[in-house]
Structure 1
Amino acid sequence: MSVYLDYNASTPLDKRVLEVMIDVYQNKYGNADSRTHDYGEAARQIVETSRQNVADLLGVKKDEVFFTSGATESDNISILGLQNLAEKTGKKHIITTAIEHKAVLQPLNVLESKGYEVDYIKPDKSGRINADELLSNVREDTLLVSVMHANNETGIIQPVNVIGEELSKTDVLFHIDAAQSFGKLVSDLQSIKYNILSASAHKMYGPQGVGALVLRKKRYKLPPVTSIMFGGSQEHGIRPGTVPTALIAGFGKACEIALDEYASNISKYQKTRALILEMLSSSGLDFSINGDSVYGMPNTINVSFKGINSEAFMLATRQFCSVSNGSACNSHSYKPSHVLTAMGLDSERIESAVRISWGHDAILEDDLYKFFRAARSL
């Protein structure tokens, strides 16, 4: 079995999280919106405890947290759920970046087809956008700015703190896709000013299929985001449908663990990063790191191996290490990375790029040695 190095796609489930979920599945199977009996009340209490856990991790209020199926749904609600506000105010200009996840880019494509205007800010070769350039595009009719916290392919952290600080002085809404940083860059997220945030549980040792949409209050009012689905009043009408109590319980437990352990986990990420970079340097391979590591997440490296096609690379090394060449959501398309393309990298470098991402679990040097030895044979 190969060593898993694709944590940006999905992490393993923490055993402590699984234990909580099993207990809920077996013993607390009521519908959290069934208010007429104890089974429903027990499920509701689990959901509300988990909501508080998410709020505590982010340093927000409990009633600002809404459960969804994951960051993709949260991103869609964040963008498509503002159409009523846009129609009411006439503000139909949106600013984002060219390196966003498709969960942001594709809903924006939908709005463009309806007459909205979207500006896409490109990064430089560091993989990081210029905050001043983005802010200079803000206009009187700007409705929303949407910027990911950390890029899923390169791990490069974007200047959302600067952008959030400036936008807080305006009435422009600011959305952060925090899928990759949630549960990791905890102190950073607690200090950033934003109106809307998206997160997933399965990127931080929680279960797949659940996430959060965070709507921060301003002058005691939530951002005027409306549901994009219909069929119930769950989650205060933001997201209809029976809430998955066990998944939410697992999400809450993962948040509780992350709040307790994130500081020590960062040091583990950094230790593994140093090991991988050391082995890369001594591997004899001709490689280039994509993106400026000064701004990089401690658990992600995007690297191009000169003269080695990424698809061939992954096939040759899959028995030793599981890595990817981009977002899992695009893994069947085999199109050049839109992120690396936006950074201005040449086609050869893009086609030879792979993403290595890891967790706080220990990585065995022997597995990495076999991995790089296989790469040298190409």
Structure 2
Amino acid sequence: MTAYLDAAATTRMDPRVAEVVLHWMTEDWGNAGSRTHGWGTRAKRAVQQAREQLARQIGVSSAELIFTSGATESNNIALLGLAPHGERQGRRHIITSAIEHKAVIEPLEHLVSRGFEVDFISPGSSGRVSVEAIQEHLRDDTLLVSLMHVNNETGVIQPVAELADHLRGTATYLHVDAAQGFGKLTEDLRGPIDLISISGHKIGAPKGVGALVIRRRGRDTVPLTPLMYGGGQERKLRPGTLPVPLVAGLAKAAEIFENEHADWWAATAGFRARLVHALRKTQVRFNGDQEHVVPHILNVSFDGVDAEALIVQIKELVAVSTGSACTSASYTPSHVLRGMGLPDNIAANGLRLSWFPDQANELDVDELAAEIAEFQAGTAFLG
């Protein structure tokens, strides 16, 4: 059986989560906005319980968390929703990194077309942006810093908690795309981060649900303007009927991840150690700072090997990708690896291996390494 090593793209829904989702789809199917009968009351209660649970995990009040369709929508609400405030205040400068997900880069590129100035900081070959580099770019008119929690291609952890401490005493807001970090490194998100985007399907929840944390600064809330109108749900920032089954599924997945975190981390790190040991038998480069990475994402380049050709070669053994699921079909050099200053022959041939233990353990890592080494030898011979 082919092992699934593309968990950074999406994960299998946990069967315990699927059971919860099915219940709210087929038994308690009420609209959380209906207040005249039991179905609506039960749905509303389920949403509130989910909101309170997720808020507790991140260390905010339930009033500081809204549900969305996922991290991409949360990013757009945070970035585009803050723009009118920046325009009113004459603060049109934004700082971000060159390795952000397209769900951050593209909204910011849109803001550039509206007259904003965006600094895209390169992290260097480590893939880790320094707090000092961000501080050097801060200005009096800096509206926002947007920095991802965990890079989706390299797994490198960014110093978001430290950055939050530095920015809290300033007028500059901090947004963190935590699509890859929530559940795995939730402790980092409990600091004074103003806006946090969360995705469900990276932790065994259904696709199509996420959240945006809008943390208050004392009595002041982040001045966001809604992108859509109609209905007034979710503090009028995300109108529309709430998908109660997905919301309940997200909460259940987050609960499972919190309760089983230590076991997940140990098993995931154990598989990583075995995989890295096996891959060292090939001519391999590990991309990014390996001292500051989550245990379930590994980005590698193999000397003299075309990544797309290698994926075809090993597809019976393992399912992997060349990078973000949003861009891996484009066959262009990774903007993340390029943003780290890596040469095109590496940036165009990086492979992302990402896993959850229950699917990764099906893989014989020594067999995979032998297959890659043989392919490298054959490529070198043909070359």
Q: 2:10 & 2:88 partners in 1: Cα distance?
A: 39
Paired position in structure 1 for 2:24: 24
Q: 1:295 & 1:253 partners in 2: Cα distance?
A: 28
Paired position in structure 1 for 2:42: 42
Deviation at 1:292, TM superposition (A): 1.2
Paired position in structure 1 for 2:161: 161
Q: 2:252 & 2:361 partners in 1: Cα distance?
A: 28
Deviation at 1:323, TM superposition (A): 0.6
Are 1:12 and 1:205, in contact at CA under 8 Å, matched by a contact in 2?
yes
Paired position in structure 1 for 2:221: 222
Paired position in structure 1 for 2:283: 286
Paired position in structure 2 for 1:9: 9
Deviation at 1:261, TM superposition (A): 1.6
> What secondary structure is seen at the aligned counterpart in 2 of 1:254?
helix
5+ long unaligned stretches in structure 2: 376-383
Are 1:307 and 1:352, in contact at CA under 8 Å, matched by a contact in 2?
no
Q: 2:136 & 2:99 partners in 1: Cα distance?
A: 19
Are 2:95 and 2:146, in contact at CA under 8 Å, matched by a contact in 1?
yes
Aligned length in residues: 375
Deviation per residue, 1:37-66 (Å, 9 max, x gap): 221111111111111121122122111110
| Residues 1:339 and 2:336 are matched in the alignment | yes
| Residues 1:123 and 2:120 are matched in the alignment | no
Are 1:3 and 1:367, in contact at CA under 8 Å, matched by a contact in 2?
no
Deviation at 1:366, TM superposition (A): 5.2
Paired position in structure 2 for 1:248: 247
| Residues 1:269 and 2:268 are matched in the alignment | yes
> What secondary structure is seen at the aligned counterpart in 2 of 1:171?
coil
Question: Partner amino acid for 1:187?
Answer: E
Paired position in structure 2 for 1:234: 233
What is the aligned-residue identity percentage?
Answer: 44
Are 2:318 and 2:363, in contact at CA under 8 Å, matched by a contact in 1?
no
> What secondary structure is seen at the aligned counterpart in 1 of 2:109?
helix
TM-score under structure 2 normalisation? 0.95
Paired position in structure 2 for 1:313: 310
Question: Partner amino acid for 1:159?
Answer: P
Superposed structure 1 runs of 4+ greater than 4 Å apart: none
Deviation at 1:189, TM superposition (A): 2.2
Deviates more, 1:362-371 or 1:324-333: 362-371
5+ long unaligned stretches in structure 1: none
Q: 1:197 & 1:14 partners in 2: Cα distance?
A: 24
Paired position in structure 1 for 2:354: 357
Deviation per residue, 1:164-209 (Å, 9 max, x gap): 111001111100000001011122222x321000010000111100
Q: 2:346 & 2:290 partners in 1: Cα distance?
A: 17
Q: 1:155 & 1:80 partners in 2: Cα distance?
A: 26
Q: 2:359 & 2:333 partners in 1: Cα distance?
A: 32
Question: Partner amino acid for 1:46?
Answer: A
Cα-Cα RMSD: 1.3
Q: 1:133 & 1:54 partners in 2: Cα distance?
A: 32
Are 1:60 and 1:216, in contact at CA under 8 Å, matched by a contact in 2?
yes
Paired position in structure 2 for 1:76: 76
Paired position in structure 1 for 2:64: 64
TM-score under structure 1 normalisation? 0.96
Q: 1:31 & 1:187 partners in 2: Cα distance?
A: 33
Q: 2:368 & 2:283 partners in 1: Cα distance?
A: 15
Are 2:4 and 2:359, in contact at CA under 8 Å, matched by a contact in 1?
no
Paired position in structure 2 for 1:148: 148
